[in-house]
A = this chain, B = another copy of it.
Amino acid sequence: MATIKDVAARAGVGLGTASRVLSGSAQTSPSSRERVLAAAAELGYVAHGPARSLRRARTDALGLLVSDIRNPFFSELAHAAEQEARAHGYALLLANANEDADQADDALRTFASQRIDGLLLSPQGPATPQLASLLARAVPIVLLNRRIEGVDLPFYGTDNEQGVGLVLDWLQERGHRDVAYVGGPQTMSTGAERARAYLGGRAAHGIATDDALVDAGDFTTDGAAAAMLRILDRGVRPTAVFGANGATTVGALRALRERLGADAGGVEVVSFDDFDWFAYASPAITAVRNDAAAIGVGAVQGLLALLRGEDATSQRIATELVDRAARS
């Protein structure tokens, strides 16, 4: 494997000159520049990242820790983040935490050892030891989608309040009064924020504030299906159901179809989080779409700002309502 030493020898210049040319750090004469480049090309020279990292104390690598890349929100975010990172010369290390603090810590340990320059983190819950350690080492970190209590870091995520507002308006416009709400865990900032916005906004939108219509799962399909069944078992018969995230809506839909048939008994379904296939679902699902790509790009840009020593401003990305209500 050709090293920079080989390149320098072949080009007939000193090691320093070769380095300066190849890393473009300082002025070099056109002649030596040309010869070094030629030699590098001939030898198929590729800079040794780890050696460079050791010397420069930076790796040009960012870490991305999500709960589960299979979640379309995260895969879309990861795609955008990777593109943006690579456009700026950064590689992306990926890890899945699977909503498990131990796995998250394991991944963070690996990231720390690999000496990533910065971290994009979708928090699983409260701060873990490894996260504290990274914080202590002043590794630049930005938060995705969820906040961490007691930790003040730049945040890039969905504007939950605005999104819920869109749903409330839509429900009102459609004339719904008895609306079931299947929420998520209050321990997650997303779950808490959406619940607060929805519950608080019902009255002003002509929606019943009956507690029997409200239940919560754990942001998984199964948990949400169970919550939906609990609501139906209370004997209430909503005309619309609002699922607080994508998986929750799917679970609610499954329960509705099981109980009320393939058309969900005419109940309208609206979701926070949109999946492409909602257009083809039966019944079709209206949804608030959060812009995962914009969040990913914004987060990387914020992280890069941090790396430059500037400060990053949190961003709440607005959502968009995709109205798929059947109209006669």
Find residues 245-270 in chain A having any chain B CB closer than 8 Å to their own CB. Answer: 250, 253-254, 257, 262
**Quick check: A92 and B91 within 8 Å, CB to CB?**
no
**Quick check: A54 and B48 within 8 Å, CB to CB?**
yes
A72 contact set on B, CB distance < 8 A: 70, 72, 75
Q: Please measure, in the bound complex, the distance between the C-alpha atom of A282 and the C-alpha atom of B137, giving whole angstroms.
A: 53
**Quick check: B91 and A93 within 8 Å, CB to CB?**
yes
* Copies of the protein in its oligomer: 2
A237 adjacent to chain B (CB < 8 Å): no
CB contact under 8 A between A46 and B93, given known A70-B72, A280-B253 = no
Contact of A277 among B61, B68, B114, B275 (CB under 8 A): B275
Q: Please measure, in the bound complex, the distance between the C-alpha atom of A68 and the C-alpha atom of B92, giving whole angstroms.
A: 14
**Quick check: A91 and B69 within 8 Å, CB to CB?**
no
A240 adjacent to chain B (CB < 8 Å): no
A93 contact set on B, CB distance < 8 A: 61, 91-94
B interface footprint on A286-319 (CB within 8 Å = 1, 0 otherwise): 0000000000000000000000000000000000
**Quick check: A86 and B110 within 8 Å, CB to CB?**
yes
CB contact under 8 A between A115 and B50, given known A69-B75, A69-B79, A75-B69 = yes
**Chain B nearest CB, measured from A24 CB (Å):** 15
Interface of A is mostly: helix
> How big is chain A's contact interface, by range?
35 or more
B interface footprint on A93-106 (CB within 8 Å = 1, 0 otherwise): 11110100000001
**Quick check: B50 and A79 within 8 Å, CB to CB?**
no
A275 contact set on B, CB distance < 8 A: 277
**Chain B nearest CB, measured from A116 CB (Å):** 9
A48 (CB) vs chain B CBs: closest residue: B115
**Quick check: B61 and A68 within 8 Å, CB to CB?**
no
A51 adjacent to chain B (CB < 8 Å): yes
CB contact under 8 A between A75 and B70, given known A93-B91, A280-B253 = yes
**Quick check: B70 and A69 within 8 Å, CB to CB?**
no
A146 adjacent to chain B (CB < 8 Å): no
**Chain B nearest CB, measured from A99 CB (Å):** 13
A253 contact set on B, CB distance < 8 A: 280
Besides A47-B113, A91-B93, 6 new A-B residue pairs in contact (Cβ under 8 A), listed by A number: A44-B133, A50-B53, A54-B54, A69-B78, A72-B75, A82-B96
Chosen A-B contacts, 27 in total, with CB atoms closer than 8 Å, are: A44-B136, A49-B50, A49-B113, A49-B114, A49-B115, A50-B50, A50-B51, A50-B59, A64-B94, A68-B79, A69-B69, A69-B75, A70-B72, A72-B72, A78-B94, A79-B96, A82-B94, A82-B96, A83-B98, A86-B106, A86-B107, A91-B110, A94-B94, A254-B280, A257-B280, A280-B282, A281-B281
